[in-house]
Amino acid sequence: MESATAKVAIVTGAGSGIGRAVSLALLGAGWSVVLAGRRAEFLEETAGLARDAAERALVHSANVADPESVAALFEASRARFGRLDLLFNNAGTGAPPVPLEDLSFEHWKRVVDINLTGAFLCTQAAFRLMKDQEPRGGRIVNNGSISAHVPRPRSVAYTATKHAITGLTRSTSLDGRAYGIACGQIDIGNAGTEMTKAMSKGVMQADGSIAAEPTMDVSAVAEAVLYMAGLPLEANVQFMTVMATNMPFIGRG
């Protein structure tokens, strides 16, 4: 086990997009970071981008929807770093944008398994570590979405899970009080990643029209999570919304 001179974080979905940006920001700020995700080659790319800070990164391939895989992830983190100060529940996926009545059970289940069950399993594992370590406690930040507030058309699975993440955040925040575990949620709108490239060409609006939407640099999200993570445990950002200024959220629909 390494000497724990830096704070330790686990970031799920660390191989791309928001997860990669947050992982690099944490590493740049001196954290030790467990880079978790399904595709080891993308996690290795993230570690490579950290340059010298990569010595404080642990690459671990994991499926957050599988309880045994999650258990192995958190055990690997404990064995390497000895404690856990931050879990960023970021791993997520969507379903094809089809009419609600045409969404397959398989697509529904996959979104629920990854977005909701995965976040729960990681939260549960983090609780077990954080309540038993010295000093006790830690922080969990859940990646919600603008869709935790209002839906896009043809997004029933994604929207349902993101609304559920808000319930998970609230329950985790309440149940964590006894152990010094803080939990907050960041709701993100139109961060500039591979997932949002199509927005510049046009996406469906509530009235059925297609319109291009503005995006923001993903570094704004990374900076926000870094701020939340850096607070003392006596303080918590319960909910934060970070979004492209001109995107259709206020007034959507």
Q: What is the pLDDT of residues 127-177, one digit of tens each?
A: 999 999 999 999 999 999 999 999 999 999 999 999 999 999 999 999 999
% the chain with pLDDT above 90? 86
Residue 226 has a pLDDT of: 98
Residue 4 has a pLDDT of: 47
- 253 in a structural domain: no
Q: What is the pLDDT of residues 1-50, one digit of tens each?
A: 554 468 999 999 999 999 999 999 999 999 999 999 999 999 999 999 99
Q: Mean pLDDT, to the nearest integer, of 81-109?
A: 97
- 1 in a structural domain: no
Average pLDDT of every residue of the chain: 94
Q: Is 179 a catalytic residue?
A: no
Residue count (the chain): 253
- 199 in a structural domain: yes
Q: What is the pLDDT of residues 183-197, one digit of tens each?
A: 999 999 999 887 777
Residue 253 has a pLDDT of: 53
- 84 in a structural domain: yes
- 13 in a structural domain: yes
Inform me whether the pLDDT recorded for 100 exceeds 70. Answer: yes
CATH number at residue 120: 3.40.50.720
- 248 in a structural domain: no
- 86 in a structural domain: yes
Please count the structural domains in the chain.
1
> Among the options 158, 161, 165, 182, which is catalytic?
158
Instruction: Enter the pTM of the model.
Output: 0.94
The full 3-state SS of 19-34, as one line of letters, equals: HHHHHHHHHHCCCEEE
Residue 2 has a pLDDT of: 53
Q: Which domain holds residue 28?
A: 8-243
- 250 in a structural domain: no
Inform me whether the pLDDT recorded for 121 exceeds 70. Answer: yes
